[in-house]
């Protein structure tokens, strides 16, 4: 159970096994708040933060991944007389708006082998992306086209001044994604794959951290149910 506070009201939200998304806690608490707060009505959550510890919680994360039994959260509701903060706008968009099923991918490559370190000023780095959107999101994004295979060139990290580090960011609907990395030398356009030793210099960060398709979740739940039955027998 999670203790959720909205203004002067606190509710104990029973999350069961915690398979729901974090925004479900906020919506459930707002539903209760709308029944016993004056004036009664429909209240819309625009932010949820953990009381103590990491404040920002990605609203599409499964509850079981980011909260534990007894944790306390604070919820902010929409108030038309107050301009939402940047964090509140971001949380709402990720929970209910245009970023609801979008994963943000940040890739950084720092050459590790002596060959590429010495040649880092004279190389270009490319990423071959293999991507498959989860089927359940096809209708939601039917007005947009996403390639399943494409190539992008990484950019030098001029923002930090480290021109020997390469970066690339992209956003895609939830799905399975895989990367291969290649480089070319200044005077040689032939692409060569970046192998194990240098791949240790690749850092991939995906937000949210935990993304799973409905089919994968169904299989996982069935396996857990079978395991629980075996324990009970």
The pLDDT tens digits along the chain (233 residues) read: 999 999 999 999 999 989 899 999 999 999 999 998 888 889 999 999 999 866 788 999 889 988 999 999 999 999 999 999 999 999 999 999 988 999 999 999 988 888 788 777 788 899 999 999 999 999 999 988 999 999 999 998 876 666 688 999 999 999 999 999 999 988 788 899 988 777 788 999 998 888 888 898 888 888 888 887 887 76
CA neighbor of 50 nearest in space, from 70, 34, 30, 32: 70
Q: Check if the beta carbon of residue 171 is closer than 8 Å to that of residue 133.
A: no
Q: What is the pLDDT of residue 218?
A: 87
Q: What is the pLDDT of residue 10?
A: 96
Q: What is the pLDDT of residue 160?
A: 65
pTM of the model as a whole: 0.75
DSSP state of 85: P
Q: Among positive and negative, which fits the CA dihedral 212, 217, 223, 224?
A: positive
Count other C-beta atoms under 10 Å from residue 222's C-beta.
10
Q: What is the pLDDT of residue 69?
A: 94
Map out the domains of the chain as residue ranges.
2-95, 102-214
Q: What is the pLDDT of residue 54?
A: 64
Angle at 187 between CA 186 and CA 191, to 5 degrees: 75
CATH class of the 2-95 domain in this structure: alpha beta
CATH class of the 102-214 domain in this structure: mainly beta
């Amino acid at each position: 159970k999670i203790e959720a506070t909205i203004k002067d009201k606190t509710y104990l939200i029973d999350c069961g096994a915690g398979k729901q998304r974090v925004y479900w806690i906020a919506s459930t608490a707002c539903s209760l708040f709308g029944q016993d707060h004056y004036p009664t009505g429909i209240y819309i959550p625009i932010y949820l933060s953990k009381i103590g510890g990491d404040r920002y919680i990605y609203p599409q994360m499964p509850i079981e991944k980011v909260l534990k039994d007894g944790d306390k959260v604070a919820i902010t509701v929409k108030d038309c007389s107050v301009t939402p903060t940047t964090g509140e706008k971001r949380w709402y968009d990720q929970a209910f708006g245009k970023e609801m099923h979008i994963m943000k991918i940040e890739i950084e490559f720092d050459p590790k082998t002596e060959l590429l370190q010495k040649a880092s000023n004279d190389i270009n780095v490319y990423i071959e992306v293999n991507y498959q959107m989860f089927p359940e999101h096809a209708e939601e994004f039917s007005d947009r086209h996403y390639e399943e295979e494409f190539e992008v060139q990484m950019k030098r990290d001029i923002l930090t001044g480290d021109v020997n580090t390469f970066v690339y960011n992209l956003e895609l609907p939830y799905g399975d994604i895989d990367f291969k990395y290649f480089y070319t030398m200044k005077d040689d356009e032939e692409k060569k794959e970046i192998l194990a030793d240098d791949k240790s210099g690749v850092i991939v960060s995906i937000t949210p951290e935990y993304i799973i398709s409905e089919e994968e979740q169904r299989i996982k739940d069935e396996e857990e149910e079978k395991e629980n039955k075996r324990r009970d027998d």
